[in-house]
Amino acid sequence: MMSDLQFDVGGVRLARPFHVQRLGHAAFIVDDQQSCLHFYCDLLGLSLSDSIDFSEMLGCKTPGRDGNVYFLRVASDHHSVVIFPGWSMPPRRMEAGTEHISHLAWQVGTMQQVIEGGRWLTERHERVRPGTRDPAGSNYNSTVFDNNGLPNEIYYGMDQIGWSGISKPFALQSEPDIDLPPIGGAIDPDFPAMRAAIEAGADLRGGLHQRPWPDLHVVVDGVRLPRPFRVVANGPVGLFVEDVDATLRFYRDALGFRLTERITYRDHGCAFLRVATDHHVLALYPIALREALGLGKASICAYHGLRVQNYRQLRAAIGFLRDRGVEIRSIPQALTPGIDHAVLAIAPDGHAVLLHHHIDQIGWDGLARPQAARMVVDADPANWPEALDGQPDSLDGFMFQGPIG
């Protein structure tokens, strides 16, 4: 096994020349961007950070049709959710179910990992798209397709957005489809070019894309907000797949995910994989469960997870969203091991958002919490207690670094 550790990744020998550290973003292909913007921004509270006229870039601009791609963020990353206009998408080789999800993106630590990772994946005879730099967000990426035909980016260099809410203005963005450097090559840092442009009079206000905030009428843990909760992180992602074992092998062997747990639900085997300490960042379900769960949209995406700050906020979010016409569905606890309390909020495009507040952490031994030590949770949130009895790790794991408002 030690002979497989042939790549020096930041001074550590690994079996591949890159290491995925976290889920960066999920990108969806929708029919009505405005209804999705209302759901993700006005109701769930994600910030609009940027937009690009995709139809103009592709030469298919049509009067009266919204051809914009919208970039939404949870925290300081330029984008955590991306909404593409389905009508303007260029033809691509699509397997059934992938026409509703553009891609998943996974962050690696360095530019070198993106460059060498693309080469290594190509040498493995994986289906790889040439690497490039995206103008919105400025991230460099290499893209590989899983066995279901779903594009997965490994990326480096996502722009960060600070207290001003201003993203990089269009005039300062790079040209689209800039090629990655060759093996052994390097990129220039952004700051010198940005400083020169600013000193030459570039207008930074062109990077402000936020939607108007509603009234600040709710006190949320000591902060006035327009809704009784704050989304603080994204993930995990669940996928419906034809072959769980084959998909597991792709994410384990090609992308380096680690298997945390396997379960059997209604005679269907499911698998849960991680990249860091969260119990899982990717859940794999057999496609037969899609109908059983009442998720009728023909997409391989079972859900995209969004984490709120605490259990009280999760309960408040459910009531807030229901009062505003959002369909809330329960999900059996068995299908979210490591996550005790969760519901599905159905987006206008039919995709499900898994709302939750905590996920178990996996330590150095790689062992998940035993089933006997897990809290038993009723799937119906109407039966949840007002408050939970604390467990030693109830508030451990991820911590949101910025202010919630």
Percent of the chain with pLDDT over 90: 77
Q: Mean pLDDT of all residues in the chain?
A: 92
136 pLDDT more than 70: yes
The answer to the question of residue 277 being in a domain is: yes
* Residue 281 covered by a domain: yes
Q: What CATH number is associated with residue 233?
A: 3.10.180.10
**C-alpha of 334 from chain center:** 22
pLDDT digits (tens, 9 = 90+) for 151-168: 999 999 999 999 999 999
d(CA 275, CA 277): 7
- What digits encode the pLDDT tens for the residues 349-376? 999 999 999 999 999 999 999 999 999 9
What is the pLDDT at residue 360? 96
d(CA 108, CA 289): 32
Cα 157 from Cα 109, distance rounded (Å):
9
Find the domain containing 323 and state its range.
Answer: 228-381
How many domains does the chain contain in total? 1
pLDDT of the residue at 82 = 98
Residue 11 lies in a domain: no
pLDDT for residue 3 is more than 80:
no
Q: 99-113, 114-128, 183-197: which range is least confident on average?
A: 183-197
Q: What is the pLDDT of residue 49?
A: 97
26-55 as b/e, with b when 16 or more CB fall inside 10 Å?
bbbbbeebeebbebbbbbbbbbbbbbbebb
Average pLDDT on 337-346 reads: 96
| pLDDT band for position 137 (cuts 50, 70, 90) | very high
Q: Are strands 140-145 and 151-156 parallel, antiparallel or unpaired?
A: antiparallel
Average pLDDT over residues 314-341: 97
For the stretch 173-223, pLDDT in tens is 888 878 999 999 999 998 898 889 889 988 888 898 988 888 999 999 999
Average pLDDT estimate for 40-44: 98
Higher pLDDT, 291 or 272: 272
55 lies in some domain = no
Residue 91: predicted pLDDT: 64
Q: Does pLDDT of 308 surpass 70?
A: yes
pLDDT band at 392 (very low <50, low <70, confident <90, very high): low
> Per-residue pLDDT for 1 more than 50?
no
pLDDT at 285: 97
Q: What are phi and psi of 71, to 5 degrees?
A: -110, 125
Q: What is the pTM of this model?
A: 0.95
- pLDDT over 70, % of the chain: 97
Helix, strand, or coil (residue 39): helix
Does residue 2 have a pLDDT over 60? no
pLDDT grade, residue 96 (50/70/90)?
Answer: low
What would the pLDDT profile of 47-94 be if each residue is shown by its tens digit? 999 999 887 777 788 888 888 999 999 999 999 999 999 877 776 655
What's residue 296's pLDDT? 65
Is residue 97 situated within a structural domain? no
Is 293 inside a domain boundary?
Answer: yes
CA distances, 25 to each of 71, 125, 224, 320, 382 (Å): 10, 25, 28, 25, 31
